[in-house]
Amino acid sequence: MTAMALRLSDRLRGFFDAADGAEGELAADPLLDVVHQYPEEAAWFIKVVMFFGSISGVIISIPCGVFLTMYWAPCGQCNRPLRYWILVHCVLQLLQAPVRLVFFLRLCHVQSLNNNIQECVRQLTHSAAWRTSKVVSIITYGWFILGIVWLLNSTYCKPCPGLYRLSLAVIFAAVARLLMTLIVFYHSFPPRFQGQGLPPKPRGANQELIDSMPLIVYSQEMRGEETSCAVCLSDFDRDAVLRRLPCGHSFHRGCIDKWLKRNKVCPLCLQDIEVQSPKTSKVKKAI
Amino acid sequence: MPTDFRRVKKELQECAKDEALTGVSARLKNEDDLTQLEGKIKGPQGTSYEGGVFKVDIEIPDSYPFEPPKMKFSTKIWHPNVSSQTGAICLDILKDKWSPALTLKTALLSLQALLSAPEPTDPQDAQVAEQYLKEREKFEQTAAFWTSSYASESSSDEIVERLCGMGFGKDQVLEALDATDGDENAALEKLLG
Ligand SMILES: [Zn+2]
Ligand SMILES: [Zn+2]
C-alpha cells in the first residue's frame, strides 16, 4: 500500500518536472525570457494568476454543480444544450485547478527558500503538466466561445429560467478573470516591457507634413552635400528627385517618404522634421 | 513592402571589405536566402570576451531597412544586456532607436561596443546584471569562462595543422578552407567528399 502510494507520488512529481530532452526548445519559450528579465515581477504575476485561476474555477463550479443536480431534467427542454455547456465548462475549470495550485505552491516554496526562480519556472514550463494545461486552456477558450454563441441564440426557457442567468453569470465571471489577468500584468511589469511586442506608438508623419518638405533635383554641382542616399545606400543619379529635410540632409524622395511615414526624424541626425533647426536658415543662405 | 535585397547585398559587400579591421562580419546562411544571415563579432580586447568569436543570428524583416534587423546571439554569452538563456539582446538601436541610415555593419559594431561597455541599468538578464553590479570580479570570471567554453574558435593555423595531420596536402586543405569560409567541419567534409 505504502509502496503504491510512493510510486503514485513519484509519477505525480514527474508530471510536474521538466522532461529530459526538453532543453532544445528552451530558446523558444518567451515566458522564460520575461522571467529572466524580471524574475520577481514574473513570479508574482504567475503566482497571482495561478492562485485566482484555481480558486475561481472551484468557486464557480460549486454553485453550477448544485444547480445542475437540482434542475438537470427540466433544463433539457431548453432549446440550447446550455446544461451541457455549463457542465463541461466546470469540468475543464476543475481539471486546471490542481495544476494551477501546484504551480502556485511551488513558486511560493522556491521564493521562500530564495532559490532560483528562473530554474523553477523553466522546469515547470517544460513539464507534461504545463503542456497538458495549455491544451486544456485552448479547449476551454473554444468551449467558452461556443457557449457565448449558444447563449446569444437561446430564447427564454420556461421550464428552467435559471439556466440562462447562470450561463450569463459564468461567462461574466470568465471575462472578469481575463480582465483581472490583464490588470495584474500591467501592474506587474515596468512600462518599458509592456511596449515590447506591441506596435510602436504612432510617431510617423502624415502626407501633408511630408509634402511640406522641399523637393530638389540632384546635380553634381551641389557641393558639400551627400552624394548618396543613406536609406538605400545607392549613389544619387543625375537628375534624381530628392527631398530635403529641415536639418539639411537629403534623400531619394521615395526612400525618405517611406521612412517618414513610420518615424518623422532624419535617418542621419535623428532630428524631428517638425522642429525647425537654426541650421535650416544657414543652408538656405548657402544656396 | 518587399525587402530591399539590393541594399542587403551591398551591405554584405561593404561588411566584407574591412572585416579584418573591424572584427565584425556577416554572411548569408545559404546562398539563395537573403533574409537569414549570420554575423560574427570578435570579443573586444581588454574585456572578458577577448579571444572569443560570438555568432549572431540575423533575420532581415520584410520592411528592412525601415525596420531593424532581428538579431540575437547564437553563441552563449555572459553579459548584462544579453539573455544568458536565449541570446536575446537589449539594445535600443535594434528596437525603437533604429534608423535606416544604420546598417548591419554599424549594428554589429554597436553590439561589439556593448560588449566593451555593458549597460547594467537597462538589463536583458537581471541575474547577470546584478552580478555585474555587486560582484564584479565574479562576473568577469564567469564571462571569461563562458567565452573560453562557448566562443573560442581555433585559430586558422591550428585548423590547417589539424587537417594536414589527417593526411591531406596543405594546398588541398587551404583550398577547402577558402571555399568553406574557414569552417573546419565543412572543409573536412569537402576534403572527404
Ligand atoms: Zn534612396
Ligand atoms: Zn538630418
The secondary structure of A231-274 as a DSSP string is TT-PBPPTT-EEEE-TTS-EEEHHHHHHHHHHB-B-TTT--BTT
Mind telling me how many Å the CA of B114 is from chain A's nearest CA? 18
Does B86 sit within 8 Å of A33, measured CB to CB?
Answer: yes
Does B127 sit within 8 Å of A39, measured CB to CB?
Answer: yes
Give the nearest partner residue to B100 out of A27, A38, A267, using CB atoms. Answer: A267
Query: Which residues are CB-contacts of B18 (< 8 A; sequence separation ≥ 6)?
Result: none
Separation CA A89–CA A64 (nearest Å): 10
Q: Cell numbers at residue A92, please? A: 475543464
Please say whether the beta carbons of A227 and A236 come within 8 A: yes
Burial B11-36 (b: 16+ CB within 10 A, else e): bbeebeeeeeeebbbbebeeeeebbe
DSSP-derived pairing of the beta strands A241-244 and A250-252: antiparallel
Cell 531593424 locates to B68
Separation CA B168–CA A224 (nearest Å): 56
The domain limits of chain A are 12-196, 207-286
Give the nearest partner residue to A231 out of B65, B86, B95, using CB atoms. Answer: B65
Question: What ipTM was predicted for this assembly?
Answer: 0.75
DSSP-derived pairing of the beta strands B53-59 and B36-42: antiparallel
**Is B132 strand, coil or helix?**
helix
Q: Cell numbers at residue A113, please? A: 527558500
**Is B69 strand, coil or helix?**
coil
Over residues A142-187, the pLDDT tens digits come to 888 888 888 887 777 777 778 888 888 888 888 888 898 888 887 7
Below-70 pLDDT ranges, chain B:
1-3, 154-158
* Residues facing A265 on adjacent strands: A272
Cell 515596468 locates to A190
At A9, the pLDDT band (50, 70, 90 cuts) reads low
Residues of A in Cβ contact (< 8 Å) with B85: 26-27, 32-33, 36, 118, 122
Separation CA A274–CA A262 (nearest Å): 14
Please say whether the beta carbons of B49 and B143 come within 8 A: yes
Please say whether the beta carbons of A129 and A96 come within 8 A: no
Domain A207-286 falls under CATH 3.40.50.1980: no
The domain limits of chain B are 5-150, 156-192
Task: Report the pLDDT value the prediction gives residue A22, as an integer from 0 to 100.
Answer: 38
- Ion ligand 1: residues, CB within 5 A, are A 229, 231-232, 252, 255
Separation CA B74–CA B58 (nearest Å): 10
Over residues A47-101, the pLDDT tens digits come to 888 888 888 888 888 888 888 888 888 877 777 778 888 888 889 888 888 888 8
Separation CA A165–CA B153 (nearest Å): 69
Separation CA B177–CA B156 (nearest Å): 9
Does A27 sit within 8 Å of B99, measured CB to CB?
Answer: no
Does B85 sit within 8 Å of A118, measured CB to CB?
Answer: yes
Query: Which residues are CB-contacts of A154 (< 8 A; sequence separation ≥ 6)?
Result: A78, A79, A80, A82, A164
Average pLDDT for residues A191-211, to the nearest whole number? 66
What are residue B125's phi and psi, to 5 degrees?
A: -120, 105
B5-150 topology per CATH: Ubiquitin Conjugating Enzyme (3.10.110)
B156-192 topology per CATH: Helicase, Ruva Protein; domain 3 (1.10.8)
Average pLDDT for residues A255-261, to the nearest whole number? 93
Let me know if A157 is exposed, middle or buried by CB neighbors in 10 A (0-12, 13-18, 19+). Answer: middle
Task: Report the pLDDT value the prediction gives residue A17, as an integer from 0 to 100.
Answer: 60
Mind telling me how many Å the CA of A197 is from chain B's nearest CA? 10
Q: Cell numbers at residue A188, please? A: 506587474
